[in-house]
Structure 1
Amino acid sequence: MIRPLSIRRRNALKAIVATLPALAIGRAFAQDKPATVRIGYQKSSTLITVLKTRGTLEQKLAPLGVKVSWHEFASGLPLLEALNVGSVDVSADVADTVPVFALAAGANLTYLAQEAPSPTAQAIVVKADSPIRSVADLKGKRVGFAKAAGVHYLLIAALEKSGLSFKDIQPAYLAPADGRAAFERDAIDAWVVWDPFLSAVQRQAKVRVLADGTNLAQYQRYYLASTPFAQARPDVIKVIYDALADSGKWVKQSPKDAAALLAPVWGLDEATVEQANGRRSYDVRLVQPERLQEQQAIADTFTREGLLPRKVNATAVPVWKPVL
């Protein structure tokens, strides 16, 4: 009587043991194929804001069994830091300077997409009655801007063109909201900022533009993903890329509709949003090695100014490409 029971137990144990590799593989597969994509973005992330507001990605990713979670950041550098440590999987557009800082810190990032240049979408502004008449007049002055943002490079490039260096000004690292407040109360002498914040201050206050990015900084914004996620879910990356490209076309082809959608989200009037969008290309394209040359120029400039801890090869980075 006992023997058959022992046989049954042995058989049951064998069956359980036999299932363990399959269970382990199943768990590994689930871990390797995350069912949620965590997207980090900023308030100025136009195309991602359009997709988020319209629920586009939720709809397009549902057939893949993938959900979306949204995470807002005040600026690009903390966003990419979160991407690097695994707190988010995909980054909405960040200025062309931000990946350089992330790479210098050893971030494991994959370039997902790039927006064509929008040099006039960022500028150095002063109040209309300011005695500062040119970039050269910024010597010794307190200048506010977001650290590692595209405006950081624009400021350095503009200073160098005027015969100055970054050490000739007093930098005040401020997020856009804090920069606007400091600018209004004269805590800074000049403010370097990008759209839609630039358009907002131009329309709501009396300011002068000392210089924008024309012939100084191309201002190509980048979308990035953590390399592990890009490798695990290329299907999700493809859906996001296509949605971004379609969204960019819609914003440019339907400027008033886009402004009406974005205005309440950004807390701005529609005319300001439309002006800001008019200066951005929103031309989403694949990243090509030859289009990363300014990334290297940015890296070299920041290294020379002592702002990066080490030299960066900004063109030797993982670049996502769709499988044809």
Structure 2
Amino acid sequence: MRLRQALAAAALLGLTVAAGPARAETATIAYQTVVEPSKVPQARGEYEKATGAKIDWRKFDSGAEVVAAIASGAVDIGYLGSSPLAAAASRELPVETFYIAGLIGESEALVVRNGAGIRGPQDLIGKKVAVPFVSTTHYSLLAALKHWGIDPRKVEILNLRPPEIAAAWARGDIDAAYVWDPALGKIKETGTVLTTSAEVARWGAPTFDAWIVRKDFAKKHPAIVEGFTRVTGKAYADYLKDPAAWGAKSPEAAEIARITGARQDEVPALLRGYEFPTLAGQASASFLGGGAAGGTAKAIAETSAFLKEQGKIDRVLPDYAPYVTPVFVEKAAAGH
């Protein structure tokens, strides 16, 4: 497992890109265990029906692993957070952001273990805090420490994937962790939330999740990407139309729980931890539209600048517009 982590990290840092063979009518998609509406059509096989493609769904535990897989050519489409996206774009990985999955709020949080002696932010100094490196929670943790005036070098920050965080927490090996569900729900049972990504966003460091696609795959198989976008947009529209219908006992909650491993009764609250843009709104300048001045391109640039300041990446590009495209949301919206 450690070897796989090392290889993933090496791939992220080096980003040696393989062209990858064309695979007509086949798509390899990397997903994560984030609680969000598109897990419902995933569970129901609706992506396969809409795209006419054979889909190989592969579960990943962090955005860094998704980036490494896409860089190697092993994955065509992937779900990741804004921090690994910024790191990938800054190293010029040939990808495009084609759908903003959600603006992260209380669905990601920094939790301190009961009995660890952490009553406030300053008590984090000298403590062991776990987080998946180059993830949105890693970015939020660093932003929170900066807001509190804490030198991150005075905190023992450990690179652990969500399943490893849950295990280390159960053993009492760590004092705090910044993570998402289902690991978040598990550590909350014996911990206290110190801050959430909603609060960190108000401090000036917002985060989001997105779907990206390899540019070569999008060029060769635009119909697959458009169909994928259309199904995703419909799932979000169905949820936004009536969130109450996705209650704890609903089929939707059951399907999301099955795909993600989250507790079914917690699914409604976890869905409320995000702000989901509509398909129609995705193409606006607030999100994927607007070129370099658009919301997503600017957010990637700002995140990259912060990561460079923190020594996590080597450089910031002058323009992140090439890593964002509104084409597929525009086509999907027109096809409704």
> What TM-score does the superposition give when structure 2 sets the normalisation length?
0.79
1:175-217: per-residue Cα shift (whole Å, max 9, x none)? 0010111122221111001234323432xx1321111122143
Residue of 273, 278, 295 corresponding to 1:291: 295
CA contact (8 A) 1:98 1:150 kept: yes
Q: Which runs of 5 or more structure 1 residues have no equivalent in the other structure? A: 1-30
2: CA distance, partners of 1:267 / 1:212: 21
Alignment-mate amino acid for residue 209 of structure 1: V
Per-residue Cα deviation, 1:94-122 (whole angstroms, up to 9, x for no partner) = 11101112123331111111134222221
- Does structure 2 retain, via aligned residues, the 8 Å contact 1:100–1:314? no
Q: Does 1:245 align with 2:229?
A: no
The corresponding residue for 1:69 is 56
Structure-1-length-normalised TM-score:
0.81
Partner of 1:210: helix, strand, or coil?
A: strand
Tell whether 2:165 aligns with 1:179.
yes
Q: Is the 8 A contact 1:110 1:226 kept in 2?
A: yes
Structure 2, unaligned runs of 5 or more:
1-20
Q: What is residue 272 of structure 1 aligned with on the other side?
A: 266
Match in the other structure for 2:7 = none
- Using the TM superposition, name which of 313-322 and 164-173 deviates more: 313-322
Kindly report which structure 2 residues correspond to 1:279-318, keeping only aligned pairs within 5 A, or say none: 279-283=273-277, 285-286=282-283, 287-288=288-289, 289=291, 290-292=294-296, 293-313=298-318, 315-318=320-323
Task: Determine if the alignment matches structure 1 residue 221 to structure 2 residue 209.
Answer: yes
| Matching of residues 98-247 of structure 1 within 5 Å | 98-202=84-188, 205-213=189-197, 214=199, 215-216=202-203, 217-247=205-235
Tell me the equivalent position of 1:255: 246
Q: CA–CA distance in 2 between the matches of 1:201 and 1:139?
A: 20
Following TM superposition, by how much is the alpha carbon of 1:33 offset from its aligned partner in structure 2, in angstroms? 7.6
Query: Relative to structure 2, which stretch is displaced further, 300-309 or 113-122?
Result: 113-122
Instruction: State the 4+ residue runs in structure 1 displaced beyond 4 angstroms.
Output: none
- Residue 46 (structure 2) pairs with residue 56 (structure 1): yes
State the superposition RMSD in angstroms: 2.2
In the TM superposition, residue 306 of structure 1 has moved relative to its aligned partner by: 1.1
Match of 1:24 in 2: none
Contact 2:62 2:161 in 1 (8 A): yes
Q: Computing the radius of gyration over CA atoms, which structure comes out larger, 1 or 2?
A: 1
Return the letter of the residue paired with 2:304.
Answer: A
* SS of the residue 1:222 aligns to: strand
State the 1:314 CA deviation.
6.2
Q: Percent identity?
A: 22
Within the candidate set 64, 69, 74, 1:87 is matched to 74
Report the CA distance between 1:52 and its aligned residue.
2.0
SS at match of 1:34: coil
Query: Is 1:84–1:109's contact at 8 Å kept on the other side of the alignment?
Result: no
Decide whether the 8 Å contact of 1:249 with 1:283 is kept in 2.
no
CA-CA distance at 1:123 after TM superposition: 1.0
**After superposition, what is the alpha-carbon deviation per residue over 1:154-184, rounded to whole angstroms, capped at 9, x for unaligned?**
1111101111132221110000010111122
Question: Partner letter of residue 41 of structure 2?
Answer: L
- Could you tell me which residue of structure 2 aligns to residue 19 of structure 1? none
* 1:318–1:302 distance in 2 versus 1, CA, 3 Å: closer
Give the whole-Å Cα distance in 1 for the aligned partners of 2:269 and 2:51. Answer: 32
